[in-house]
């Protein structure tokens, strides 16, 4: 599989789509990543996050763009200039890895969905305009498959950058490696990656990096129980969030103590872990009744309030991860969870329109 500039030059970008239409403008942004001009790099990153990946949703351009970026990360120019790009580009590749796993469908299922040969529809634009559900499903399946196909390349990149001299880069690489190791096609690497991340966490002197490594272990469904006794309250809290420790009494107590000191949490980190900026699979873990009752008994929220508004969520911004231990009540006391699919069409206004997103509801 081609990467870097060869991939950029061999791809027919005009036939691919991003969130705002044809991806014909994507190559200029990818080339700008190698320039040391901060303005051009900032515009390129904006394009990656708003068009190539839009609010976590992949497009047919996403996989090919990721292939180019994998190759560019081997170019030393990425680390030069006023705005080094290695960490933010790894963050983008993590989002590509997550996008490839978001459907919960097998490759065979997606490949069947991706087949679309209706003669009357000559372009994807016409399919979307005609509200063609089969076409929308095929488009979305192809976008997901594009992310899955590049997963082995992404994992190689993450493993290489686990050796970076920059602890922030290592933190992003750890998050990416843990995300990719959960993919069915790469699950045979999970144990090796778990051992490597655990060894790194045990020797990491930087609290921020250690916290990120412990969160990555949690995402691998590993038990970071040893870190519940870490000298740093930040590391202890990150360990307590591991799904494997959902029923652990010590982990529950650590979370309760963290909530009691929610106003201090910002001071525990020089820079919050990268998992706070990219949605985490920790959200799929459910809170145990014991944990919920422990937190409810310890914190007397005013009647009718929503515990997901607790300062631990509002200030530290761990995303949805802590909610696995917090019941999501409405003021009437009913569960108010909504799925990403049901929210997506409302969030998508201004890009290609809600019709493209209908495929997410059909799927």
Q: What is the pLDDT along the chain (363 residues), one digit of tens a residue?
A: 899 999 999 999 999 999 998 999 999 999 999 998 999 999 999 999 999 998 889 999 999 999 999 999 999 999 998 899 999 999 999 999 988 877 778 888 889 888 876 544 456 667 667 777 888 888 889 999 999 999 999 999 999 999 999 999 999 999 999 999 988 789 899 999 999 999 999 999 999 999 999 999 999 999 999 999 999 999 999 999 998 998 899 999 998 888 888 788 888 999 888 876 433 333 333 344 444 455 544 443 333 444 444 444 433 334 333 433 433 333 333 333 322 332 332 233 333 333 333 333 333
State residue 54 phi and psi, 5-degree precision.
-115, 110
Is residue 108 located within the same domain as residue 235? no
Give the number of domains in the chain: 2
Is residue 10 located within the same domain as residue 95? yes
CA 188 to CA 180: how far, in whole Å?
11
Check residue 127 and give its pLDDT.
67
Is residue 5 located within the same domain as residue 149? yes
Is residue 153 located within the same domain as residue 236? no
- Cα distances from 134 to residues 19, 105, 130, 362, 363, in angstroms, run 19, 17, 11, 9, 10
The answer to whether position 222 is within a domain reads yes
Is residue 200 located within the same domain as residue 294? yes
Is residue 292 located within the same domain as residue 320? yes
Burial bucket for residue 69 (CB in 10 Å: 0-12, 13-18, 19+): buried
Is residue 230 located within the same domain as residue 319? yes
The answer to whether position 167 is within a domain reads no
Is residue 9 located within the same domain as residue 141? yes
Is residue 200 located within the same domain as residue 285? yes
Is residue 233 located within the same domain as residue 149? no
The answer to whether position 271 is within a domain reads yes
Burial bucket for residue 318 (CB in 10 Å: 0-12, 13-18, 19+): buried
Is residue 211 located within the same domain as residue 96? no
Domain span at residue 9 reads: 1-161+337-363
The answer to whether position 173 is within a domain reads no
Is residue 231 located within the same domain as residue 285? yes
């Amino acid at each position: 599989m081609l990467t870097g500039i060869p991939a950029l030059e061999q791809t027919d970008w005009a036939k691919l789509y991003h969130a705002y239409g044809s991806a014909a403008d994507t190559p200029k942004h990818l080339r700008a990543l190698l320039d040391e001009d901060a303005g051009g790099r900032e515009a390129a990153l904006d394009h990656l996050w708003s068009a190539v990946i839009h609010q976590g949703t992949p497009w047919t351009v996403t996989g090919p763009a990721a292939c180019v970026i994998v190759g560019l990360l081997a170019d030393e120019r990425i680390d030069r200039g006023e705005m080094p790009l290695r960490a933010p580009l790894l963050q983008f590749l993590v989002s590509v890895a997550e996008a490839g796993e978001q459907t919960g469908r097998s490759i065979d299922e997606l490949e069947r969905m991706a087949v679309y040969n209706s003669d009357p529809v000559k372009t994807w634009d016409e399919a979307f305009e005609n509200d063609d559900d089969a076409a929308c499903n095929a488009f979305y399946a192809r976008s997901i498959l594009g992310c899955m196909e590049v997963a082995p390349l992404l994992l190689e990149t993450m493993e290489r950058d686990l050796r970076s001299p920059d602890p922030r880069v290592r933190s992003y690489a750890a998050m990416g490696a843990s995300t990719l190791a959960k993919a069915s096609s790469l699950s045979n690497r999970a144990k090796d990656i778990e051992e490597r991340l655990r060894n790194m966490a045990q020797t990491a002197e930087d609290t921020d990096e250690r916290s990120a490594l412990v969160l990555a272990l949690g995402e691998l469904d590993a038990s970071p129980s040893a870190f519940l006794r870490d000298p740093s309250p930040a590391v202890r809290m990150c360990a307590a969030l591991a799904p494997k420790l959902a029923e652990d009494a010590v982990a529950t107590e650590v979370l309760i103590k963290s909530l009691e000191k929610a106003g201090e949490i910002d001071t525990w980190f020089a820079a919050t872990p990268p998992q706070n900026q990219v949605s985490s699979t920790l959200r799929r873990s459910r809170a145990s009744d014991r944990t919920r009752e422990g937190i409810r008994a310890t914190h007397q929220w005013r009647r009718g309030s929503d515990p997901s508004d607790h300062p631990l969520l509002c200030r530290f911004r761990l995303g949805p991860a802590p909610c696995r231990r917090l019941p999501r009540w409405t003021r009437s006391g009913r569960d108010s969870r909504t799925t990403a699919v049901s929210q997506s069409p409302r969030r998508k206004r201004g890009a290609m329109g809600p019709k493209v997103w209908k495929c997410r509801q059909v799927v």
